[in-house]
Chain A
Amino acid sequence: MQKKRLVSILAVASVAALILAGCSSGSDSASNSGVPKVDMMKELGAGEGQVNLVAWAGYVENGSTDPNVDWVTGFEKETGCKVNVKTGSTSDDMVALMKTGEYDVVSASGDASLRLIYGGDVAPVNTDLIPNYADIFDNLKMQQWNSVDGVAYGIPHGRGANLLAYRTDIVKPAPTSWASVFDVNSPYKGKITAYDSPIYIADAALYLMETKPELGIKYPYALDQTQFDAAVEVLKAQKPLIGEYWGDYLKHVASLKSGGTVLGTTWQVNINLAKGEGTKVEGIKPAGGSTGWSDTWMVSSKAKNPNCAYMWMNHIASPAANAGVAEWFGEAPSNAKSCALTADKNHCTTFHAADDAYWADVYYWNTATEACLDGRTDVKCVPYSEWVKAWSSLRNS
């Protein structure tokens, strides 16, 4: 009796498996040749009443974090588009969320944007429908992470560097380089943090660029196998120093506040939040440069609220909103007119909005591919999917 039942359960399960396999083999599989054809919006219609965003923490503020920080409520009143936001904690998160097709707009960093474009998850953007596009800094437009073959795929949002955070009351003397988070004899062992994403491998590569010039790393997102292995070794050696890897920014801020974390990589917005809660913490861009990001607002190819999506992209690129978000997050704005509207008149100077020399040693997040991004053709580089595997292996060993 028991055996019979087991057999019948197995039979049902295998039938179900066959049905599922049959269903799925009909759909098209992804091709790797070029960008999938997605239509661009021709003209703007009436708003749909809502828009669903995937954004970095601090990019969409409606006054609930800080009553004075709000560039959403006005937009909702003006356009009638209610803004729903889902915070992504890593670029991988954002790519996965956009693949669900439930979101209209995403604020994608350079290590997500190309994957989204080639995956057919985002549509080309008709910049004629976005009046504020005209005021965006020219050197942010039509870059390799936000356009393909002369077609714009998004509206530049702003840029910044990943910072080295330290508790000023605990870490003495103040750190000056990324070496402080990789020093195996660090007195802060167990209280150092790192960003919990495969992209953090680039931070180790950046550190090697300075400390091991013989490896010949020119660009931290173009690593051949030897260079990649060296970077992973650095991270393995770093692991005993780490107390917690951070992905959830709120937990990270709480950890900085409690002293569980005293040193490690962070974003300016986390420093601002921790300071707001009375934590003695500072963030610096060390001398050797930093990894960083240059973000782009992109619209989903499956957007259910495309009109509100365009209205949002125009709004967030407007001088006032762009100034607001740049100041709150602590990054350089993308709209040239924003600089006149920041509360701190020196904001654009502090964050080097138009200072190209400053950005020379900031390596914006990018997706590693087999064809080396630094132009080398004599070797194959390690693609991002291998970065993911190496990171998963490192985290679980």
Chain B
Amino acid sequence: MLHSLSTYLHKKPRLRLVALLTTPVLWLVIAYLGALAMLLVTAFFTIDSFTGNVIQQFNLGNFHDMLTDAAYKNVVLRTLGIAISVTFLCTVLAIPMAFYMAKIARPKSQKILVALVLTPLWASYLVKIYAWRTMLEPGNGVLDWLLGPIGIHSPGFGGPAIIIGLSYLWLPYMILPIYAGLERLPNNLLDASGDLGAHNFYTFRKVILPLIFPSLVAGSMFTFSLSLGDYITAQIIGGKLQMLGNVVYQNFSINLPFAATIAMIPVSIMALYLYLVRRTGALASM
């Protein structure tokens, strides 16, 4: 039975393709593009000011509110700032780590190191952020207890806390692509650069960096986009500071169309980011 089916399909390549692709294409169109389209459409609706019911009439009021209120410009800039800082911090931490893993550590310990980098991903997001809450607690948190005697104090809950928390969460997503990129980099290129008289930093800048650039871009897409949409970290260790995700969270129960309007911002930023990345050609060499 199975055999005859496979012979039949073998003769009809087109049917084979259809059978193979129907489910994923349906999924993509309905669940993914459908949700995006719904978001876009909802952004133009409005609500009844008393009952909060959505009124399905074309209306630009949400965009007007979003663009005229300085608070939303601030929250966009703040969120961008946080996402860029997190990406920068992750890059700075990940490059030496990945370099050690790929080029210096012995093959045996390489595997152990990869496993260690992956371990935090096994723990729940919430557990990790609540752990940071206890650590950053101003006055009686772990950080103050540990570093207080040498004069370093916890930054407290707020922007710096969010950057620390998110960098901690997304670091593995930066280390792994860079590690993969460095592994593919032939050692003799580094030797050649050294033989030709280049200093370590010069080799890094002129040889390593251009070659692992696609990996950096891949990693940054994770850290940047994940930070851009996050709201739970801000809720738990952000104090009174809010990110774009919080605005959406705050509004979706009261004013769904406005939440949809706000949600268009990170979507547009990511689309622009991907467009810029594509222009650099990094996507093609990934």
* Chain A positions near chain B (C-beta within 8 angstroms): 9, 12-14, 16-17, 20-21, 24-25, 27, 29-30, 32, 92-93, 95-97, 99, 114-115, 118-120, 190, 198, 239, 242-245, 248, 251, 258-260, 367, 369-370, 383-386, 388-389, 392-397
Contacts A13-B37, A30-B53, A394-B71; A96 near B240 (Cβ below 8 A): no
- Report if B152 contacts A (CB, 8 A): no
A388's partner among B33, B246, B255 (CB-CB below 8 A) is B255
- Closest residue to A26 on the B side, CB-wise? B56
Known: A32-B50, A260-B139, A389-B69. 18 other contacts (CB 8 A): A17-B40, A20-B41, A24-B41, A27-B56, A29-B56, A30-B48, A95-B253, A115-B50, A115-B51, A118-B50, A239-B240, A243-B240, A259-B139, A260-B157, A394-B71, A395-B250, A396-B246, A397-B71
Q: Which residues of B contact A383 (CB under 8 A)?
A: 49-50
Question: Contact residue range for chain B?
Answer: 35 or more
What are 13 A-B residue pairs whose CB atoms fall within 8 Å in the complex? A13-B33, A13-B37, A16-B34, A16-B37, A30-B51, A114-B50, A243-B240, A260-B139, A384-B49, A392-B250, A395-B246, A396-B75, A397-B71
B70's partner among A190, A369, A397 (CB-CB below 8 A) is A397
Instruction: Tell me how far the C-beta of A115 lies from the nearest C-beta in chain B, rounded to whole angstroms.
Output: 5
- Report if B247 contacts A (CB, 8 A): yes
Q: Majority SS of interface residues in chain A?
A: helix
Cβ–Cβ contact A392 & B71, under 8 A: yes
Cβ–Cβ contact A30 & B251, under 8 A: no
Instruction: Tell me how far the C-beta of B251 lies from the nearest C-beta in chain A, rounded to whole angstroms.
Output: 6
Cβ–Cβ contact B242 & A385, under 8 A: no
Cβ–Cβ contact B37 & A17, under 8 A: yes
Q: What separation, in Å, do the CA atoms of A29 and B51 have in the docked complex?
A: 12
- Closest residue to A193 on the B side, CB-wise? B240
Q: What separation, in Å, do the CA atoms of A243 and B137 have in the docked complex?
A: 11
Cβ–Cβ contact B50 & A369, under 8 A: yes
Instruction: Tell me how far the C-beta of B170 lies from the nearest C-beta in chain A, rounded to whole angstroms.
Output: 23
Q: Which residues of B contact A93 (CB under 8 A)?
A: 253
Cβ–Cβ contact B251 & A385, under 8 A: no
Q: What separation, in Å, do the CA atoms of A308 and B25 have in the docked complex?
A: 43
Q: Which residues of A contact B75 (CB under 8 A)?
A: 396
Q: Which residues of A contact B235 (CB under 8 A)?
A: 248
Q: Which residues of A contact B40 (CB under 8 A)?
A: 17
